[in-house]
Amino acid sequence: MTTKIAIFGVGLIGGSLALCFKGKPGLHVTGYTHLPELIHTFQERQVVDHATLSVEEAALDADFIFLCVPVSLLNTYLEQLSRLPLKRGCVISDVGSTKASIIACAEQLHFQTDVHFIGGHPMAGSERSGVGAASALLFENAYYVLTPPAGVPDHAYDRLATLLSQHTRAQMVRVEPVLHDEIVGAISHLPHVIAVALVNQIREYNEHNPLYRMLAAGGFRDITRIASSDPIVWRDILLSNRHVVLNLLNDWNKGVQQFIELLQTQDARGIEQQFEYAGAFRDELPERRKGMITTLYDLYLDVPDHPGIIGKITTEIGNRGINISNVQIIESREDVPGVMRLSFRNEKDMEQAKAMLLDSEYSVFARV
């Protein structure tokens, strides 16, 4: 018996889910898009078994439906699905990074008997976007949060959790929707707001003195990289979780005010303690597990200043079958002891490159 899976929105997340399921025994994957030009892309990338421009066709007889559309469109698609004759036992889920609003919408809709909505949030991503960046390995070792509304039967939850854990190799975590939004707001939404505010602060300073931009290479660029996230996506996320983010920003302001007072009173020990508290907690955080903010796999190395050295290094790495995702020459290096940064898409490639470079007697450093 074939299990039909429908993916609405076959981009980075939807396409990666599709690749996790496609080709597995007993599974058939249908991809829906409202853009005709993407049908050819789906076929060329072979991410789905069938592609369609029809919501009705995609949902017909589907055992599972995954809504992988922007957060601002989730309610619209859910309402549309509630008016269709869905298969009994169908489980609908989404991949949005906020859960309370979509759960509230689902609870107000009247789905037919034995059709259930369960919120979902795979906590993994990439610096790239679109179906071209989709990967069957995207969710491996990541946390995949499920937030079922009250009243969802265990058998429906278990079916969805089993499907996802078996084929994505993610670690399933069951969380209450409001709690999910509070936690994700703190570990992802707030950092994005802070990064954007910080970059814009420096941008304003730079309008009066271009040295700010010139000297912001290296560490500043690294710690603010999430400020380059998609503006439309983050507009929708922040508005969807605005009450949580507002509370978090109020708490953030209290922390900033505390530093202001420490500096005004020249409280040296108080400043030390803040760094000690932060350092101790950060050291307890899990390493190398995928999370809300994409992990970087970077190596820094000192290289001699002579022609052709950069090409030589990258060619040697490429000849070993190791893929480099990005190369950067860092002009300001007060924060790391290297001038060349090599970025990799996974830890395995990074470690292989590090071993090769060390064997070649390069000075190599990894950011922790």
pTM: 0.78
CA distances from 127 to 95, 325, 326 (A): 17, 10, 11
Enumerate residues 6+ apart whose C-beta is below 8 A from 49.
Answer: 22, 28, 29, 30
State the Cα–Cα distance between residues 300 and 302, nearest whole angstrom: 7
Task: Map tokens 């070649």 to a residue.
Answer: 360
Q: Is the pLDDT of residue 354 over 50?
A: yes
Nearest to 189 by CA among 247, 132, 145: 247
47 is written with which tokens? 């991410």
Enumerate residues 6+ apart whose C-beta is below 8 A from 328.
Answer: 340, 341, 343
Q: What is the pLDDT of residue 215?
A: 87
For the sheet containing 297-302, what is the strand order? 326-329, 340-344, 297-302, 363-366
Give the pLDDT mean for 270-287.
Answer: 91
Helix (H) or strand (E) holding 344: strand 340-344
Q: What is the pLDDT of residue 338?
A: 47
Enumerate the β-bridge partners of residue 172: 144
Helix ranges restricted to H, 109-171: 154-168
Chosen CATH of 179-258 out of 1.10.10.60, 1.10.260.40, 3.40.50.720, 1.10.3660.10: 1.10.3660.10
* Cβ(227)–Cβ(196) below 8 Å: yes
Judge residue 225's burial from the number of C-beta atoms within 10 Å of its C-beta, 0-12 exposed, 13-18 middle, 19 or more buried: middle
* Cβ(106)–Cβ(150) below 8 Å: no
- Between 247 and 307, the more confident residue is 247
The residue type of 213 is: R
Phi, psi dihedrals of residue 132, rounded to the nearest 5°: -65, -20
Q: What is the pLDDT of residue 225?
A: 85
* Cβ(68)–Cβ(17) below 8 Å: yes
Beta strands in 128-279 (DSSP E): 143-147, 171-174
Judge residue 264's burial from the number of C-beta atoms within 10 Å of its C-beta, 0-12 exposed, 13-18 middle, 19 or more buried: exposed
Query: Where do the CATH 1.10.3660.10 domains begin and end in the chain?
Result: 179-258
Q: Is the pLDDT of residue 236 over 60?
A: yes
State the Cα–Cα distance between residues 311 and 157, nearest whole angstrom: 52
State the Cα–Cα distance between residues 124 and 169, nearest whole angstrom: 12
Query: Where do the CATH 3.30.70.260 domains begin and end in the chain?
Result: 297-366
Give the pLDDT mean for 224-241.
Answer: 91
Question: Which CATH code is given to the segment(s) 3-175?
Answer: 3.40.50.720
Q: What is the pLDDT of residue 320?
A: 84
Task: Map tokens 């597995």 to a residue.
Answer: 24
* Cβ(136)–Cβ(20) below 8 Å: yes
Q: Is the pLDDT of residue 15 over 80?
A: yes
Phi-psi region of 218 (alpha: psi -120 to 50; beta: other; left: phi over 0): left
Q: Is the pLDDT of residue 3 over 60?
A: yes
Give the pLDDT mean for 72-101.
Answer: 95
Band (pLDDT 50/70/90 cuts) for residue 325 is confident
Give the pLDDT mean for 115-142.
Answer: 84
Nearest to 322 by CA among 292, 273, 275, 355: 355
Q: Which CATH superfamily does the domain covering 297-366 fall into?
A: ACT domain (3.30.70.260)
Query: Where do the CATH 3.40.50.720 domains begin and end in the chain?
Result: 3-175
Nearest to 150 by CA among 116, 173, 181: 116
What's the residue count for the chain?
368
Q: Is the pLDDT of residue 9 over 60?
A: yes
State the Cα–Cα distance between residues 305 and 106, nearest whole angstrom: 61
